[in-house]
């Protein structure tokens, strides 16, 4: 048996995409700067004209999952980092945006097998957001670390099944047949009443 964990070495060939919401860009711009600082100090070429990082700006956090998934299905990226800031206002809009972005980012990762990092702050006030985007510490740095770690881990676990999922599903949403049958077998083994043959 084995222990698998992501490393922060051998990352010179990694390709990353960063999706950034313009909404609250006072905050998201700082998250991006923290993220870039981390990547740069780990030897990643963060130049948008280079070969390692693409940047995609979207109107707000709500739009992030669609774009993250679209990027992931290209199979060009080892990880995708999503940066946004959802700040509670006087309306329920916060709750809709916050829950949709979290669900959508998770779905983009599940559907494609590409690590999609949830770098979206959900806070009550602008002060809390800024504290997490550089005044106290910068979570952008952490999101970059998460991306490198997950990219490395997924490489170790192998990308074969994910490639199969993209190639054999027109909607790019289906599980590969091998995973489907394994899942069905697993569920059956969990639900079969004891002693039932
Ligand atoms: N988008 C954010 O990224 N953060 C917010 O706090 C926010 N609030 O509170 O409204 C927000 N709204 C815009 C939303 O993400 C979409 O861009 C918009 O609804 C258009 O689809």
Residues 114-130 have pLDDT tens digits of 999 999 999 999 999 99
Q: How far apart are CA 26 and CA 180, in angstroms?
A: 44
Between CA 14 and CA 82 the distance in angstroms is 17
Q: Is the CB of 121 under 6 A from ligand 1?
A: no
Torsion angle defined by CA atoms of residues 96, 100, 102 and 104, in that order, rounded to the nearest 10 degrees: -170
Distance, CA of 98 to CA of 148 (rounded, Å):
24
More confident of the two residues 111 and 171: 111
User: Per-domain residue ranges for the chain?
Assistant: 16-158
Closest CA to ligand 1's atom 17: 60
Ligand 1 probe mutation, 62, 82, 125, most atoms within 8 A of CB: 62
Map tokens 């979570």 to a residue.
139
Kindly list the catalytic residues.
93
d(CA 45, CA 29): 18
Q: What is the DSSP letter of 115?
A: -
What's the token pair of residue 101? Answer: 């972005």
The owner of tokens 């590409």 is: 114
- Band of pLDDT at residue 91, cut at 50, 70 and 90: confident
Q: How confident is the model over 135-153, as a mean pLDDT?
A: 97
Is residue 168 pLDDT above 50, yes or no? no
191 or 38: which leads in pLDDT: 38
pLDDT of residue 92: 85
Token pair, residue 14, equals: 């990694």
Percentage of the chain modeled with pLDDT above 70: 80
Question: What pLDDT sits at residue 131?
Answer: 98
pLDDT band with cut points at 50, 70 and 90 for residue 165 = low
Instruction: Note the pLDDT of residue 95.
Output: 92
For the stretch 175-188, pLDDT in tens is 444 444 444 344 34
**For residue 146, what pLDDT is reported?**
98
Task: State yes or no: pLDDT of 196 exceeds 50.
Answer: no
Closest residue CA from atom 11 of ligand 1: 60
Ligand 1, atom 4: closest residue by C-alpha: 86
Q: What is the pLDDT of residue 158?
A: 87
Q: How far does residue 19's CA lie from ligand 1's centre (Å)?
A: 14
Q: Is the pLDDT of residue 18 over 90?
A: yes
For residue 105, what pLDDT is reported? 98
- For the domain 16-158, what is the CATH code? 3.40.50.960
């Amino acid at each position: 048996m084995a222990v698998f964990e992501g490393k922060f070495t051998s990352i010179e060939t990694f390709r990353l995409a960063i999706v950034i919401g313009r909404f609250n860009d006072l905050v998201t711009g700082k998250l991006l700067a923290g993220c870039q600082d981390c990547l740069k100090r780990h030897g990643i070429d963060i130049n948008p004209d280079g070969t390692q990082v693409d940047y995609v700006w979207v109107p707000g956090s709500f739009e992030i999952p669609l774009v993250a998934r679209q990027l992931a299905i290209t199979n060009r990226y080892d990880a995708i980092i999503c940066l946004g800031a959802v700040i509670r206002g006087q309306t329920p809009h916060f709750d809709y945006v916050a829950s949709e972005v979290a669900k959508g980012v998770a779905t983009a990762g599940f559907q494609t097998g590409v690590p999609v990092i949830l770098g979206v702050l959900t806070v009550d006030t602008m002060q809390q957001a800024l504290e997490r985007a550089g005044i106290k510490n910068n979570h952008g740095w952490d999101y970059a670390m998460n991306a490198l770690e997950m990219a490395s881990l997924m490489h170790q676990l192998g990308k074969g099944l994910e490639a199969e999922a993209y190639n054999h599903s027109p909607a790019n949403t289906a599980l590969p047949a091998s995973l489907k049958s394994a899942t069905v077998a697993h569920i059956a083994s969990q639900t079969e009443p004891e002693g039932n043959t």
